[in-house]
Amino acid sequence: MAEVVLHIYDVTNSGSEKTNNTIVQINRFFKDGIGLGGIFHSAIQVYGDDEWSYGYCEQGTGVFSCPSGKNPMYTYREKIVLGKTDCTIFMVNQMLRELSREWPGHTYDLLSKNCNHFCDILCDRLGVPKIPGWVNRFANAGDTALEVAGNTAMRMKQAKTELVSASKVAYRFLSNVTSNVTNGSNGSPQRTGTLNNSDNGNFKLQGSWFKGILNTAKPSTSTEIGNKDEDANHAITNQKKQSRDSDVLLFQ
């Protein structure tokens, strides 16, 4: 059996001393002060003196190792012993080879596939508890917010479709009414139960009024609605991309 250790760092690789100090203060307040979470990098040590983690790179695997507690990109915070694994060193090496293929660097995502997610997967395969929830809570909260936004956009799309269908029905109804009114005002034979010719002026007024409604309330086409939906979805995609571009190293 081998001990499995989680190493946790404050993410201080922004290149700006002011930003790095701000992140440290955020972590002190949200983690040390109220126990909520923070902005952290994590890595797993098992068998030997190296720790294993995951980060972004353009080509090749994103899985990498370095001496435990000595990653030069971040500020070391603490270590947590997660338990002991029954896996042999051969089995662990096999796991790391598999994960190296499954976790290429270009698939890194700040909210849904970062170093903390990698550590969770490795812990699960080692048969020990996953990392504490507070380590990755900020990323999980951001991922949940994007999921809610996506679900909201889908519900809005469905509602728009229903509105288009309803408006088309109303449009056809008003078109029929306008046609009947117009025919009645153009000298068509008067049927039993209809108004007499003295009301022709009212018929003409009503016909014009209905035509005005139709011109104003004519439903949008499905193409127009689709274009609006694409714009909305594009805006959500851009928002996620901007978040990744600005904070790509935040949870690495």
Closest CA to 136 of 123, 122, 117, 109: 117
pLDDT tens for residues 200-215?
Answer: 555 455 555 545 554 5
- pTM, 2 dp: 0.57
41 is catalytic: yes
Which of the residues 41, 117, 119, 123 is marked catalytic? 41
Domain architecture of the chain: domains with CATH: 2-181 (3.90.1720.30)
Which of the residues 7, 87, 115, 123 is marked catalytic? 115
pLDDT tens for residues 96-121?
Answer: 999 999 999 999 998 889 999 999 99
Model pLDDT, residue 81: 97
